Structure 1
């Protein structure tokens, strides 16, 4: 007997059908509008994993993945802006600091949207952003190469490395201010709509009570490294959207058979990926996680390529969903990429018979 979907899954489907999917091609060309972000805020999805006592839903991981798939499949740019928000929520949920009482509720209830500026930590031992003690607080200097959601986010979670090789995460307002200057919006081959900039930091000062986490780099890295070895729900979402296009085309029986075969593979790889993601020890079975992740990339490329091929010359038009999905797929190949993931992916690409395995 089937059960009713979780209420956040129902809300995500409504948001995708009524707001995101109908304007996905326009958003891709013009940028994520504030109205879409306001709709996400109202939906309750920003608190999907947040504690109930702070206004969140404390939903299971499976619900968080399903809502992410729904949003990314409807409009990958909007999904990418809002997905940044969940890391700050998770960090504050674990923090025992006054900052948690000040920020977690507004973030969980969707009153505030947070971005993140910490991917540069993965460049270690290079230190793109240095943090030093100054005037009873912390001074940030350097460059954040990627910051998504500029002009849409209310706050940001910013990170750097101290002189003692600690990572330090702190919150600040997501606006130009003394010591923080954004670049012009980046022109990207995919997800330009996400309003991504780089940030120049030259003496940005933040007080002690803005700090969400300080820990030795290696202690933080032990928990960070395994995260990106898991396959992303967005990869499965864009794959599924490409297969929806393929199945809805006026192609010959061979087109339908291709869609059916790829859909079967999608269901199997997704099942394997989520079983691994739910494994109780995230630092175990890393080789398996990476193998499934690279297979999900293989399938993503196959599905988006099939949608372009089935659409023929129409697929090259910027108003075509097929080319948008193909570019989104290209973006997802490198989104959140670490050296470990890149090595595994390149190794798989050099293996003969990969797609036929």
Structure 2
């Protein structure tokens, strides 16, 4: 670990070692429990990047990345639910609209947990969710293909695209209501535990006071670029967890051989994530992202191989990490990321 010591790093490791990792196998099969979310609320981790004046920690991005890495390596399902929270917090911290004063403190302190419903904006020019100005607010119609944390989150950040190609982001309660209906939780090969659903929107109306951002789609794509082209801390968290499984299986030499390249790519990826112009050096970001995928895949495969047949038992850590790694290959994927990854695989 390379970031400077910070109290929330110790908090994250205590939570990971004492609660998340010991129960990860059960959570994988049964679902993320409310008790896990309550523990994260109490920990202060939901406010890691939130302004101090609103009850957050105001920690640097280096700390925020490492916290996410620690949580993902302990229980990827729990990590995935809580990681949705941090983008709404950042967006609220950057706006001067009325919704900031209504929600930021509650989100920064963990009183409320937020989810996100805007990944579909990335498939533009397709528009799965249309936003239309109506009656001093906005009407949302369409379908949100993926929404994580249903039944755990208090509020959601929803986005739709207008006829003028403007993206409208607004908050609403994360519950069924007039114009909003959720599917049954999806059964997935990995992270079924994260309570992911699809949402049907049929005239969901939200007032102007719920809006946190309105921006041209092209501008949103530029802002969103580093979120998709930077290597995810979760990839490193799962990869390092697989190395620990290797060590426990009596294969420290294999673990050590993989740790060096992993440390190197992690250092390069995190340094680039901190670049002052986040939408520059995209090709380099994508190269590091695909390299991190390669190393995670190698580490999780090695953990399964070292465990032999017993590694395939549903309570086995190796197979769970392997499946979580598969999920991370496509989490937040865009057409640009997919093409870069496939080209890298074709050359390997």
Residue aligning to 2:220: 220
Structure 1 segments, 4+ long, off by >3 Å, are none
Distance 2:56 2:183 in 1: 34
CA contact (8 A) 2:226 2:273 kept: no
Distance 1:202 1:163 in 2: 17
Q: 1:67 to 1:30 in 2, by over 3 A?
A: same
Among residues 302, 314, 324, which one is paired with 1:328 in the alignment? 324
Residue aligning to 1:345: 341
CA contact (8 A) 2:3 2:62 kept: no
Structure 1 position 118 matched with structure 2 position 118: yes
Q: 1:165 to 1:308 in 2, by over 3 A?
A: same
Q: 1:4 to 1:126 in 2, by over 3 A?
A: closer
Structure 1 position 34 matched with structure 2 position 41: no
TM-score normalised to structure 2 length: 0.98
Residue aligning to 1:57: 57
1:257 CA displacement: 2.3
CA offset digits 1:159-209 (Å, max 9, x no partner) = 000111100000000000010000000000000000000000001010010
Among residues 257, 261, 266, which one is paired with 1:265 in the alignment? 261
SS at match of 1:283: coil
1:227 CA displacement: 2.1
TM-score normalised to structure 1 length: 0.96
Residue aligning to 1:165: 165
Distance 2:221 2:281 in 1: 17
Structure 1 position 293 matched with structure 2 position 289: yes
Distance 2:35 2:3 in 1: 32
1:88-237 → structure 2 map (5 Å cutoff): 88-237=88-237
CA offset digits 1:71-128 (Å, max 9, x no partner) = 1010000000000000000000000011101100000000000000000001100100
Distance 1:33 1:169 in 2: 28
Distance 2:227 2:183 in 1: 29
1:223 CA displacement: 1.1
Distance 2:34 2:124 in 1: 35
Distance 1:11 1:344 in 2: 36
Distance 1:201 1:314 in 2: 45
Residue aligning to 1:24: 24
Among residues 276, 280, 293, which one is paired with 1:284 in the alignment? 280
1:216 CA displacement: 1.1
CA contact (8 A) 2:143 2:199 kept: yes
Higher mean C-alpha displacement, 122-131 vs 215-224: 215-224
Q: 1:169 to 1:258 in 2, by over 3 A?
A: same
SS at match of 1:127: coil
SS at match of 1:226: helix
Q: 1:221 to 1:103 in 2, by over 3 A?
A: same
Structure 1 position 241 matched with structure 2 position 241: yes
1:226 CA displacement: 2.9
Distance 1:126 1:182 in 2: 21
Distance 2:3 2:266 in 1: 21
Residue aligning to 1:305: 301
Distance 1:108 1:337 in 2: 27
Distance 2:39 2:327 in 1: 24
1:313 CA displacement: 0.3
Unaligned runs of 5+ in 2: none
Residue aligning to 2:271: 275
